A and B are shown apart, each in its own frame.
Chain A
């Protein structure tokens, strides 16, 4: 569809069959078209499509530092706003220069030292030892508080980062910081980037800064502060309309004269929020930078409205005028606005924040602007809110704007959207270098938000039955092309505000279902389709098989969250599909397109995790990195030498050990860039690393492992015995296997279960295998309960499971279970997955020893031993029962001469050094003279003092990963006087001798 549009031909049936969303896009596109005309006289845009898409989207990635408002300062303008600069968003800058401000290991004192020399607003992120959390340390204004520096703890919830006291959560640390660069929220004022970073004009500048790392703060680069009057204000402009508003009142009108201004697109779109949510909406428009996890936004939103908390609401409150304007803007759309809004327009502009990047995901449509009032009059209207507004705005703008021939780069004042978009279609104006990754990512988020917004608005607008004009049949809605639907203006307004309220609400999922509906007419951009089709289809066809597949789609379908939601999601999906299937031929595709976006939205929630996994996977393939070479070497070693292990179990254990070690390595190495701590909340890091390890190590090795395990079985004769016993067990009825009462599955059900087991076998991830195992168990329960209606405990379930496993007659299941037992993340062994895995293992063991059991009615002693060993081996990893080692607990005993031992369990992360642990101990145990104490590792016959820079948690992990269990303790005690070997540096490797 996109390609059918002829750019440069403004009159083309603007709304023919396009959804409102597309109309919106069209208006953007028309703007671009216009621009293009201005800049290059000739550009048949038809064939530029793809390029445009790319370019435009890449423009969209954030809030930009520069702003027209700085225009007040003449010199500034001249000095450096070239488009490069404009194109580096705050997020880009932050991401690239994290070595400078993300200083997790810096102490409070050091942070104070650094920041004292900095102007107010400058910040860094560090890790507080006392709090065991990350904190944002900010230089305050002298007069604002007694302390020059304030520390704001960062809260890391399951998937997000936020500041204490704020309701706004972010997918990662970069987004959080970027957000606070433009909006203060709970801070006393917005953050300020160090001048060298804020004013960097090129990628290279940033790289230089980044290379200095923490040294930046003491460097000349940092100290050569510009004298420019640019205060921290510029940064905050974006989100504080009222301020800029006033400042620029006159400027705005000037702009309107020159017609050079077109910053309004995104703001217009989004700024329809009612006053309380004003800044929220603003955030939206700034897209990635302000990426707000929609799931969390809702709460915040309420919070907003309810409490009207000062910190959030200040801005609108400060300037009631402005606040009122927001809604006005919304409503003043369409013709109405046409008539009376020239002035409004000006206002609007003046009050709007600084120039924005071009509209989000503008598409390369050439669609001419707005609705030629002629024939398509109805078509203009029909669209649902968002685009109506946009259209209107655009219309005004374009009509107003003289379309100045603007020098591509020169005009400072020129709206970024224009300038930004212009270079792209024009080959002679190559897009400036930009960081690729951040772009992609942020872009992704951006899309997600946009889609959501649009989708909601659209669905809202259309869903209510009363909405569609009477003349249009329901089906028409789906397919309608050139607007046969017309929504009264009034309606529109209302919707609009609705939309703004619902934007990003947590129930967005619900709404996001409907977009397919309302947008039936808008096929999604072709590039999404292929991919989408595949995934969609596979998931419909075979839920079980699809997961593995999905892993490889780069775009973001496979996020955890999505996985979690998938079931319900899919159910709905189907429903929608069914109910609409009659609608039109085109629908399925369209639906898919929409859903693709929806899933894009979902994935954006999880993007950081996926991103981290992906990044680690990439790193693991990069042999030039240490991690990559370790992994690759190990993989090829295993491929070539799988025979060197004594048993399958031995083999799996070394694999597990390797993965555990690699996880530990990743956590401490600096090869991850940016550091994983900045992307993933700390309590999630282990899971993410685990997932990454599965992908890096198990995925490539899966077939090798399978073959190896099978070979071991065959060679040892176990395979043969297993087959015989299975065959014998299969002949037994349920009663003979201990089933008493419950009705067993019939052959059909058994077949179904077999099928599920076969799918389970295809997975490389132990976790996914386990989740499929759970489905089997659930099915068994369902069958048992359906037939009797009672709750069954293990007395009934385990025999039934044994019976089912026997009936399935799949000897290969044995190695699969072994695979899961040995490779599953130890932290999952206690949960439901661990329980049923244990049961499956138990059932398999019983079957394996079926003959013996028949004879002796007990397991062979050999089998018992095996179980016992397994139990010991896997439980040594959890020295303190029920305190999960992987949740970073460390038990430390205080040994005092007179009082004996007291032990405390402390939270000690793997990156926590002995020094830090000591300081925590001193605090916990209330030691008056901590300088005389040290942390010791005590084993049965050794006692070693740990050096300050060692990592106790890693030492513990190392000890645990040894094949034999050792007894050891961490003891905090007085250093003996005259201890000559005081800093006994302990190497993880040699602190303990394996007996």
Chain B
């Protein structure tokens, strides 16, 4: 299977749990085949998707305002951006909207945007209604999901959804096997007979 490297950028206020989500994603089902990275700001994980393997190269960003201006360097060339907010902090949702705007203006054209409302284990102190966030996501054709990095809820799903939205690559390797497929065809029919 061909491995496709996909750069994914994490955006969002500081403290919303960006790196927790990724750590959860990467650490569950730890993949021994990949070389460990030196720290949690940059993590990779490979997941199968259809006939391809998607290797996520996950770029974390610093959420503090003073680092905001560096963001373009991080999201440039990204196939996807995950914008994380904290459902218990309305401010973080406002920041999210700013990021969406910035991505629209300066981000890569075909970037897949995913909105993740983290800390949904703290539903009782929720400040951002799910419905509002969901509608916003729909309005910008973004993926939407509420997650809990702490309880490992929906983390896997978040990245699966991203995977699915990445347009599949036309893969000549697979196609070129067609001649082999032809020769294999008799086998199934033989089985049918049996």
Contact = CB atoms under 8 A, between A and B. Distances in A.
B50 interface: no
B172 A781 contact: no
B19 A920 contact: no
A883 B169 contact: yes
B73 A858 contact: no
A792 B176 contact: no
Interface string A835-879: 110110110011000000100011100011001101100110010
Nearest to B57: A830
Interface in B100-122: 106, 108-111
A839 B19 CA distance: 16
Contacts of B169: 883, 889, 905
B176 A131 contact: yes
Contacts of A208: none
A871 B69 contact: no
B45 interface: no
Interface residues of A, number: 53
Interface stretch (B2-10, B89-97, B125-133): B2-10
B159 interface: no
Interface string B157-194: 00000000010011011011001000000000000000
The residue in B18, B64, B109, B170 that gathers the most chain A C-beta atoms within 10 A of its C-beta is B170
Contacts of B60: 793-795
Nearest to A778: B38
A798 B176 contact: no
A838 B59 CA distance: 10
Contacts of A882: 4-7, 77-79, 166
A906 B172 contact: yes
Contacts of B76: 871, 874-875
Contact of A853 (B15, B40, B66, B175): B66
B73 A871 contact: yes
Nearest to A781: B39
Contact of B77 (A738, A836, A878): A878
Kindly state the interface size class of chain B when it binds its partner: 35 or more
A793 B19 contact: yes
The residue in A738, A780, A874 that gathers the most chain B C-beta atoms within 10 A of its C-beta is A738
A543 interface: no
Given A791-B19, A875-B76, A907-B173, A798 B38 contact: no
Contacts of A777: 38-39
A774 to B, nearest CB: 6
B62 A857 contact: no
A830 B7 contact: yes
Given A781-B38, A792-B19, A793-B19, A924 B175 contact: yes
Contacts of B66: 738, 846, 853, 857-858
B8 to A, nearest CB: 9
A132 interface: yes
B147 interface: no
B65 interface: yes
B154 interface: no
Interface in A127-145: 130-132
A881 B78 contact: yes
Contacts, number: 148
A798 B60 CA distance: 10
A259 to B, nearest CB: 55
Contact of A859 (B10, B69, B77): B69
B13 to A, nearest CB: 9
B148 interface: no
A337 to B, nearest CB: 48
Given A738-B67, A853-B66, A881 B79 contact: yes
Contact of A799 (B61, B62, B176): B62
B46 interface: no
Nearest to B4: A882
B2 to A, nearest CB: 10
Contacts of B15: 795
A257 interface: no
Contact of A881 (B14, B69, B108): B108
Given A774-B38, A795-B18, A830-B77, A132 B23 contact: no
Interface string A762-777: 0000000000001001
A864 B69 contact: yes
A906 B169 CA distance: 8
A130 B5 contact: no
29 contacts: A132-B172, A132-B176, A777-B39, A791-B19, A791-B23, A792-B19, A793-B22, A793-B60, A794-B19, A794-B63, A795-B14, A797-B39, A798-B61, A799-B62, A830-B5, A832-B44, A835-B42, A836-B38, A836-B42, A841-B73, A842-B70, A846-B70, A864-B69, A874-B76, A882-B4, A882-B5, A906-B170, A924-B172, A924-B175
The 8 A-B residue pairs whose C-beta atoms are closest, nearest first, are: A793-B19, A794-B60, A882-B79, A798-B62, A842-B70, A781-B39, A778-B38, A904-B170
Interface of B: 4-7, 10, 14-15, 18-20, 22-23, 37-42, 44, 57, 59-70, 72-74, 76-79, 106, 108-111, 166, 169-170, 172-173, 175-176, 179
Given A867-B70, A924-B175, 9 more contacts: A738-B64, A774-B38, A793-B18, A797-B41, A832-B38, A881-B77, A881-B111, A882-B4, A920-B172
